[in-house]
Structure 1
Amino acid sequence: MPGAIPEQVNPEQQRAITHGSGPLLIIAGAGTGKTTVVTERIAHLIMDEHIPSDNILALTFTDKAAGEMQERAEKILPYGYVDLWVMTFHGFGQRLLERHALDIGLSNDFRLLSQTDQWLLIREHLDEFELDYYRPLGNPTKFISTLVKHFSRLKDEDISPEEYVKHAKALGKGKTKKSAEDRAEADRILELAQAYAKYNQLLLDNNALDFGDLILYTLRLLRERPAILKHYQHQFQYVLVDEFQDTNWAQYELIKRLAAPRNNLTVVGDDDQSIYKFRGASVSNILDFKKDFPEAEIIVLTKNYRTRQSILDLAHRFIQENNPDRLEVQVGDLGGLAISKELRAQREGVGEIGVIHVDTQEAEARGVADQIEKIRTSNPERKWDDFCILVRANDHAQTFIAEFERRGFPFTFYAARGLFAKPLVIDVLSYLRLLDNYHESSALYRVLTMPIWGIPHTDIVELTHAAKKKTRSLFEQLDHLDEAHLSDEGRAGVAKLLPLLTAHSKAAQTEPVGEVMLRFLNDSGYLKDLTKDESLATQQQAAVLRQLFKVVETFRRGERPATVRAFLQYIEHVTESGDAGALERDLEAGPETIKIMTVHSAKGLEFPYVFIGHLVEQRFPGQNRPDPIPVPDALVRERLPSGDAHLQEERRLMYVAITRARDGVFFSLAEDYGGTRRKKPSPFMYELKLVQPPVKAEKKLPLPIREYRSSPVQAAEAAVYNAREKHFSFTKLSIYNDCPWKYRYAFVLQIPKRGSQALSYGSSMHATLQNFFLLVKARQDANESLPTLTDLLTIYDRSFIDEWYQSKKQKQEYYQRGKKSLTVWYDQTMARLPNVLKLEQVFNLKIDEFVINGAIDRIDQIGIHERTKKPIVKIVDYKTGKLKDKFEKDDKYQLLIYTLAVRDPNILDGQVKELEYYFLDENEVRSMEPTEKDATATLDWIRTTVAGIQRGDFRATPNEMLCKFCDYREICDYRAI
């Protein structure tokens, strides 16, 4: 039917819509109506060219994009259709494999695994992998996530296990002639290749596929079964691909095969908006399209219907920094017609461009909020959802969130992950942990703090202190309320809680976890309190609860019992895998709010006003974090850019951020983000010419200590703590510097923590060496022969702590590891027996009005000072952790505190010549010589840290790496994972 094309399309769009046969590359810049072009082209082919709807294949990248495209097409088409193949790449692969998997020896009722499911599968079968390099004994699961990502990248590149193993074995040929380094590298690659093969076999054994398999096996199907390939080549007369710049190598290979031999292939994309390299996207695909299809027509859409011209000009000047690795340049280099991607605004008026450059990150958030208020005041018609805050990483959003909360601005933070860190989810999981084990004190502490019980926080502080004092669990302390001097409100709250715990614990033995969760939410009044009004907060909490129950449903679909205990173990493994819990995101649902999200999340969206935050060095552009396990260069199929690939991708990310704005874009940055050094502006701010380059190097000035006012709750806790605690240790000081909030849990609230295999093993080794040297001294004093290796290993057997290991196998591995290390240690030590002066030397070092206490593993005398006759000593501290190449700040402070103690006249009055860490597992030493400058710096560090503790300054400082291994991560609202 003629007349399907609407009158409002521009000439370039009409050319693209009505393009005839042959390949077509549509370069669609930001805001140029590419979705309209794709959907109108589908309608044109069906209505004007009379192509049956099931003979057109349209592929995109997200279910949402595919749904929108299908919905638009349905509105355009005036009548029904047989079957519209509009779907994601993975959806297409799944559809073909469900039809034809049997043709390549696969089951067609396979189970599709998420990335977390992949992690869980490998963890469950970890003992079947012959891993050495990638299975550290102290943390066997450390590299699972890295391996999963590596396997995914291999599939992005269409690399089969057989090809990888063949490559690895080729590297290993002639190993005897290679250097030790080359042999080790060949062994590492072979270990990876065999692990990849084992992983794929596990998938098949468990009737499962991962998302990469959906493309990999579809390619295999089309390669190995020519009749099936011919069938789909005949069926799909036209193939359209949206967001072509986001395809990986395997996906591009798939569409080339399907489109042949007609090559009626239309791809739509923009190389300047390729921002998903971390997902395997290959910008080289769109750059190489003209090489692969020399006859392809190129149509450039440059009429922008979104953004004001001044903003477009700024973005275009900026992105040219990526030349020559841009399509605009490369098409001309191929001898084609010169093209221009400079966008031309179709909306009149000048866009607003502003810079908010202030001293602190708190001032940055205030500046952004002030600007929003200013715009709303000058134009009352502006709604809250006309504003969007874009950040490079989720944790950069926190200061904006805090400022908006302070001012009462309605906002929604669209984080893609972080469900398990939501307070509601932590509450529910803590209650379940308590049902599984009453003596889980950290879980009970969290439950007691829930407002539904009405227990004053001062009562909870008293309970935790009394439990610690009497060496009881927190639950046991609830049977001795008189000792804690609780208020009437506190007693009433405990009386309400205890019967529910009894009833729900009984239910947890027989009922599915979802039913137990509902019992708690209803019986306690938590759900009623949660839904008491129709506020934005209530809607957000309800969404979180829905998503938690989706996690329960996912758990129940697995082949496992649906008990509370099994669910808690599942959640533990999921979080161990690095999965923080998916969060739903629907920008159109709910009341109007300011939107806060990452730039990656904003792709495809637009807002009248955009604020891009934290524009300083090492934040935006983000730091380059290359693949921990890169695909070997010899196997990589994509063409790499000539410039800095990471910086180019970050620049494209900034381009995407700028082009989300319709009327105004503001760039914000500060000099102080909490570290000891002032931050320089992002190099992008110089490229954008929004700040002037410095004339000379900026002098680094120490930052002032910010004023901190504790909350009444924290002040009450601090008062209880400070009144009773006068002593500190290096461990306490180190924990406080890592995160004051963790210090609060450990030493103010004194919440008990679980043991660990690393602690058991370390204590075993320390006790063994202490007892061995005591035996050495005893035999020396008695003029007897020195202890033998058998004596040492006997002491080890007696000292070995067999608690907190995850399995018998792990316990045996640790035991054998210690035995092997001690054997080497014995040979090295007895060949040159040290003159041990002190073992486990306890000290109490008075500094100002407080005391630092501790114990030094070993002090060796290496001489006597000629004049003072004081002993000259070496301090030795044993380590069973990972070998470090150099001293970190904390490492130095620990040994330097020992130095201050040994030098104290009231302790040893010795002269410290050398400080040594002895890494027992590697039997290697790292040493340093202390200086007076070191001693002064250590005293300053101690005083500053103690001052923060005594002020009650227990603010949280979340850090992904530290939070991952924190004993209190399961109950912490501020965790970064």
Structure 2
Amino acid sequence: MPKLNKNQLKAVQTTEGPVLIIAGPGSGKTYTLVERIFYLITEKKVEAENILVATFTEKAANELMTRVSNRLHEANISFNLNEMYLGTIHSICLRILEENREHTRLKKNFMLMDQFDQQYFLYQKLNDYLQIPNVEILVGERTSRWIKAENLLKWINKVSEEMLDVEQLKKSTEIQVQALGYCYERYQQQLKEENALDFSTIQLEAYKLLKEHPQITTELSEDLHYLMIDEYQDTNTIQEEIIFLLAGRKQNICVVGDDDQGLYRFRGATIRNILEFPNKFPKGVCTQLELSINYRSHPNIIQFYNQWMEQQNWNYKGKSFRYEKEIVPNEGKYPKSSTVLKVSGTEVLDSWYEEVYQFLKSLKEKGKLTDWNQVAFLFKSVKNSKVTGLANYLEEKNIPVYSPRSNMYFDREEVRLLIGAIIFLFPQFPEARKWNKNAHLDEWEMYDQCFSEFTSELRKPENERLLKWARKKAKQHYNLSENTDYAFAGLFYQLLQFDIFNRYLEQGTAGVRDSRQARNLSLFSQLLTKFEYLHRVSVFTPGKVDKILRTFFNQYLRFLINGGINEYEDDSEYAPSGCISFLTIHQSKGLEFPIVMVGSLESSPRKQYSNLDEELQENFYRKEPFEPLSRTKYYDFWRLYYTAFSRAQNLLVLSCLESKASGQGTRNIPSKSFIESYRPLKSWRDVAGIYDLEFEDVKEVNLKKEYSFTSHINIFETCAIQYKFYKDLEFAPVRQGATLFGTLVHQTIEDIHKAALKGEEEKITSDNVENWFESNYKNLIRKERVYLAPQTQIAALKQVNKYVDRQNNNWSHIKDAEVDVSLVKEDYVLKGTIDLVKGEDGSVDIIDFKSEKKPDLVKEQERIYHYKRQLEVYAHLVEERTGQKVNNMHLYYTGEENSSPYVTFNKDTKSIDKTINKFDKIVERIEEKDYRIEERPIKHCRNCDMRFYCDQKY
């Protein structure tokens, strides 16, 4: 076992019963979790499916999986980690819901909404809520409909996260509370009607499932022998309830976290979960451990943030709201130079900008920085004008800044040119966007600027071809007399053929910085397809084009501009090479940087709760109030900056524009909250030995990516350029209904197999099959918003019925259906979904369904060979994962009417090895971003949205 310190070793080996691990910053928490999982697997002989590990982010889950798999690989231990319940609490709840969907309100193909989707959902249905008595007190009276939807969203999510009793809310004498109860009731009805989930109701539905179906809870808790919950200080009420339900009678719950880094109260997190955890059990039952040796930071930095916490008052009415702890440095030799200092300007903003620039330049010129990414600026927000001003100042001085959450998306040249281009292509735009003569929106000025920027580009000689094309299109759109065969997304892909846009696609995709412009175009394609999905727009029609323009620009795009869009962030490259990072403190959580510069020193603790918050907490929460509401603003403030200070490895810098209040609304900077810590610090110019410091390199994050034959290898082999755009850069293809037929057939056959696997063969009747088919179709069209012609529906149902008839009521051979199989390999995770596994005598056959007629086996040899390789990947997965022997592999053509629907291949180990070897080589090319092609696959081009681009480039 690698060297663990005493407390880390105890944390690894204490596996039975409840365990609380308070892990300070830089204390090797992830390393300890990796070793604990490794210990359970190797020493306790625990199977993967008996372990649940919940992390705060998907990135943390992926990193943990990668590190554990590498650890097992080093020890030459074969183990299928993907059987573990490993992910965020949300993703684990989603998995439990999908595995037991028939016991929930959810139907197949349910829609999962992110925060913008949820707010837009409420916005579109706002009239329903505005009819509820006294709702204006809840959502605001003199605010826009979009802000009303935002306010409603906040309160609705609070009801879900705190599991408030809706009937109690409706009976309240407080009219605001009563309105909330009725709003929430209506919202739940709408979710059910739309077969939809938001992030808060994922957990609520999982909790209901576990409470209402004790047999499911018992089965799960019997299977889950060990639970580990990371970042426990950031869990909320419902998450704690779910965790304890899943732990069952064993109660082998290990929670890990740091109460000093609890940052997510605004999302419903409660620090009480970690502070009260030991009290959940009889006295002395819970083992408490502290990881307090910091392996990250210089001792002076540790001393600084220890003092920051010690100088605050954590006691209230005789109770402390913090675990007493002292973080200590790892033993070793450290530079004598001061490693906590200040970089400040005075009175004039430019003096601060210049001082920061001079500080960075001096480190670079003295050869202390090997890469700009060793420096990270942390702010409360990166969206205010001071911060964006600093970013622009540094960029002008040739110091690149990576600031993906700075609301600069709509300031980017490539995005503004796209908006301008769309406006140019619709000459009716100025009139179409108005809904009355006096209407005016602030965003119109931005749209006009975008239009002006685009027309300036059009005047350039090199854009003559674009000008001719755009004029012709604009004329067509202005005099539209028949439906087009495209909407905004289709128009977007046509624009990519011109140099003004495709120049952004020619840059590399190797790093976040190099690919930013291409990724911004990709994000725009996603925004367009989402608009068309939400508003059921697939083409422009003469009667509706003006309304579509109005809705797109006055509502959808406007809300996105106001709400702000984050630019692309890569989990495996949190500090892109060649850039300094501008991050929010929340964003920086869990990260570390050699040099951390903390700004926002003008901040002060601010009240974060309203009268309604107080009313709900006092009278409707499931538990008595914990932290006193009047003190939470201080606790949250101290924890936030503690987290910021503790990100630094070699040098911590406090940075601000110093100024004294002079009336007229100005205030002291730094604020009084920081004075005690800030005042003793020396300016960087006065620190002897600063150039003697050695700065570490930013650590590389090695994350294993998932690859499947159909979603990755197939696309790459068809066209590597197509892979680059759709898979790597994540361009959104224009929605097509071509796969709806196949999905419908597949899903209905899956229902049949599920009934057979449950021993309910008697339910496989023509009436039930038709009901399953109709239900699947209804939910598919609701989700996909595309339709099949009546004759096509009849043909699809006929294929399903034909399949049932051929089985002659004999379903005994079915072992499993729709099996998600995955295998952690040395460099990546191999995944696949197998339609059907049947078997006898300990061996299995694999079947993959194709909803088409059986092709000519001679003329279509290439296609058959392609499918054979797909089956070989599945065979490899099954044998490696389960140890079962695969006999034969079959294609089953549901559209075949006359001859046998099967095409059968004998399993050939040498051929499988060859296929997997080819798979490995393609993954290697993908990871190296080698997207070269010898020639265009012309027969595939006509259905590819990138064809306009490729016509010009290849």
State TM-score, norm by structure 1. 0.60
Q: 1:415 aligned to 405, 411, 415, which one?
A: 405
What displacement does 1:331 show? 9.5
Whole-Å Cα distance in 2 between the matches of residues 504 and 321 of structure 1? Answer: 67
Deviation, 1:530, is 6.4
Amino acid aligned to 1:551: L
Cα distance in 2 for partners of 1:390, 1:407 equals 20
**1:610 and 2:596 aligned:** yes
Distance 1:556 1:591 in 2: 36
Stretch of structure 1 that moved more, 343-352 or 120-129? 343-352
Residues 245 and 282 in structure 1, CA contact (< 8 A), matched pair in contact too: yes
Q: CA deviation at 1:303?
A: 1.1
Please tell me whether the aligned partners of residues 100 and 108 of structure 1 are also in contact (alpha carbons under 8 angstroms).
Answer: no
How far apart are 1:580 and its partner, in Å? 2.0
Structure 2 counterpart SS, 1:142: helix
In structure 2, the partner of 1:645 is 632
Counterpart amino acid of 1:569?
Answer: T
Matching residue of 2:489: 514
Q: Deviations over 1:436-468 (max 9, x none)?
A: 443428546523323872649xxxxxxxxxxxx
Q: Measured at CA, do residues 490 and 510 of structure 1 come closer, stay the same or move farther in structure 2, by a change above 3 Å?
A: closer
The structure-2 alpha-carbon separation of the partners of 1:324 and 1:391, relative to structure 1 and needing over 3 Å to count, comes to closer
Identity of aligned residues (%): 23
Give the counterpart letter for 1:550 in structure 2. Q
Structure 2 gaps, min length 5 = 431-443, 682-954
* Letter of the 1:560 counterpart: R
**2:559 matched residue in structure 1:** 576
**Alignment partner of 1:80 is 2:79:** yes
Q: Given the superposition, is the C-alpha separation of residues 641 and 281 from structure 1 closer, same or farther in structure 2, using an over 3 Å criterion?
A: same
- CA distance in 1 between partners of 2:216 and 2:513 (Å): 53
Change (3 A) 1:346 1:368: farther
**What does the per-residue CA deviation read over 1:175-211, in whole Å, with 9 as the maximum and x for residues that have no partner?**
xxxxxxxxxxx22221111011001110001111111
What is aligned with 2:167? 165
Superposed displacement of residue 550, structure 1: 2.6
Tell me how far 1:63 sits from its aligned partner.
Answer: 1.0
Cα deviations by residue, 1:315-360 (Å, 9 ceiling, x for unpaired):
011112444369x98599xxxxx96332324453255111233222
Cα offset, 1:514, TM superposition: 1.9
1:405 alignment counterpart: 395
Q: Does the Cα contact within 8 Å between 2:132 and 2:182 map onto a contact in 1?
A: no
Do residues 235 (structure 1) and 223 (structure 2) align? yes
2:121 is aligned to 121
Which deviations, in whole Å up to 9, do the C-alpha atoms of 1:238-291 show, x marking residues without a partner? 000011111001101111111131110000000000111111111111111111
Corresponding residue for 1:485? none
User: Which structure ranks higher in relative contact order (CA pairs < 8 Å, sequence separation ≥ 6)?
Assistant: 2
Shift of 1:125: 2.1
| Counterparts of 2:270 and 2:96, CA distance in 1 | 24
Structure 1 pair 106–408 and aligned structure 2 pair: CA distance change class (3 A): closer
> Equivalent residues in 2 for 1:701-712 (5 A)?
none
Give runs of aligned pairs for residues 363-762 of structure 1, distance below 5 A.
363-394=351-382, 395=384, 396-415=386-405, 419-440=409-430, 443=447, 445-450=449-454, 453=457, 455=459, 498-499=471-472, 501-502=474-475, 509-523=484-498, 525-528=500-503, 531=506, 539-558=515-534, 560-563=536-539, 566=548, 569=551, 572-573=555-556, 575-576=558-559, 579-586=563-570, 587-588=573-574, 591-616=577-602, 620-621=603-604, 623-626=606-609, 629-630=612-613, 632-633=616-617, 634-637=619-622, 639-642=625-628, 644-671=631-658, 677-680=665-668, 681-690=670-679
- Cα pair distance change 1:251/1:570, threshold 3 Å: farther
Change (3 A) 1:80 1:434: same
Q: Does the 8 A contact of 1:46 with 1:52 survive in 2? A: yes
Q: Which deviates the most, 292-301 or 496-505?
A: 496-505
Q: Map 1:909-924; keep pairs closer than 5 Å.
A: none
Q: Is the 8 A contact 1:387 1:607 kept in 2?
A: yes
| 1:65 lines up with 2:41 in the alignment | no
Name the residue aligned to 1:221. 209
Cα deviation for residue 623 of structure 1 reads: 3.8
| Distance of aligned partners of 1:567 and 1:547 in 2 relative to their CA distance in 1, 3 Å threshold | farther
The equivalent position to 2:17 in structure 1, one of 16, 22, 29, is: 22
Equivalent pairs counted in the alignment come to 630
1:248 aligned onto 2:236: yes
Instruction: Please say if residues 273 and 655 of structure 1, whose CA atoms lie closer than 8 Å, have aligned partners that are also in contact.
Output: yes
Which is higher, the Rg of structure 1 or of structure 2? Answer: 1
Tell me, yes or no, if structure 1 residue 269 matches structure 2 residue 257. yes
Q: Distance in 1 between matches of 2:549 and 2:188?
A: 27
Displacement after TM superposition at 1:145 (Å): 0.5
Judge conservation of contact 2:417–2:450 (CA < 8 Å) in 1: yes
Equivalence for 2:132: 131
Cα RMSD (Å): 3.3
Q: Distance in 2 between matches of 1:425 and 1:273?
A: 37
Question: What amino acid sits opposite 2:125 in the alignment?
Answer: H
**Aligned equivalents of 1:52, 1:489: Cα separation in 2:** 64
Q: 1:124 to 1:288 in 2, by over 3 A?
A: same
How has the CA–CA distance of structure 1 residues 623 and 420 changed in structure 2, closer, same or farther, with 3 Å as cutoff? farther
Check whether the contact 1:608–1:664 (CA below 8 A) recurs between aligned residues: yes
Q: Check the 8 A contact 1:353/1:666 in 2, yes or no.
A: yes
**What is the TM-score when the length of structure 2 is the normalising length?**
0.61
Asked whether the 8 Å contact 2:155–2:180 carries over to 1, the reply is no
Q: Tell me the secondary structure at the aligned position of residue 425 of structure 2.
A: helix
Aligned-pair distance for 1:688? 1.6
- The residue number in structure 2 matching 1:203 is 191
**Distance of 1:69 and 1:516 partners within structure 2:** 42
The one-letter code sitting in structure 1 at the alignment partner of 2:471 is: L
Q: Quick one: which amino acid aligns to residue 624 of structure 1?
A: K
2:232 and 2:274 in contact (8 A); partners too: yes
Q: Distance in 1 between matches of 2:472 and 2:499?
A: 10
Report the CA distance shift for 1:38/1:503 in structure 2 as closer, same or farther (over 3 A).
farther
Q: Decide which of 293, 315, 320 is 1:303's aligned counterpart.
A: 293
Q: Alpha carbons of 1:282 and 1:589: their partners in 2 closer, same or farther (altered >3 Å)?
A: closer
SS of aligned partner of 1:450: helix
- Structure 2 counterpart of 1:581, which letter? I
Query: More displaced, 56-65 or 398-407?
Result: 398-407
CA distance in 2, matches of 1:515, 1:263: 54
Deviation at 1:670, TM superposition (A): 1.6
Q: 1:208 to 1:647 in 2, by over 3 A?
A: same
SS where residue 565 of structure 2 aligns?
coil
Q: What is the CA–CA distance in structure 1 between the aligned matches of 2:135 and 2:408, rounded to whole Å?
A: 28
**Counterpart residue number, 1:100:** 100
C-alpha contact 1:361 1:673 (8 A) present in aligned 2: no
Q: Aligned-pair distance for 1:562?
A: 3.0
> Contact 1:31–1:307 at 8 Å: present in 2 too?
yes
State the distance in 2 between where 1:491 and 1:370 align: 45
Change in 2 beyond 3 A, CA 1:45/1:195: same
Query: How big is the shift at 1:387?
Result: 0.7
Aligned counterparts of 1:34 and 1:490: Cα–Cα separation in 2: 56
Distance 1:230 1:493 in 2: 65
CA contact (8 A) 1:238 1:264 kept: yes
Change (3 A) 1:438 1:562: same
Which of 2, 5, 9 matches 1:10?
Answer: 5
Deviation track 1:698-732 (CA, whole Å, cap 9, x = no partner) reads xxxxxxxxxxxxxxxxxxxxxxxxxxxxxxxxxxx
Correspondences of 1:17-56 after superposition (within 5 Å): 17-56=12-51
Aligned to 1:847: none
- Residue 325 of structure 2 is matched in structure 1 by 340
1:933-957, Cα deviation, whole Å (9 max, x unpaired):
xxxxxxxxxxxxxxxxxxxxxxxxx
Task: Return closer, same or farther for 1:417/1:409 CA change in 2, 3 Å cut-off.
Answer: closer
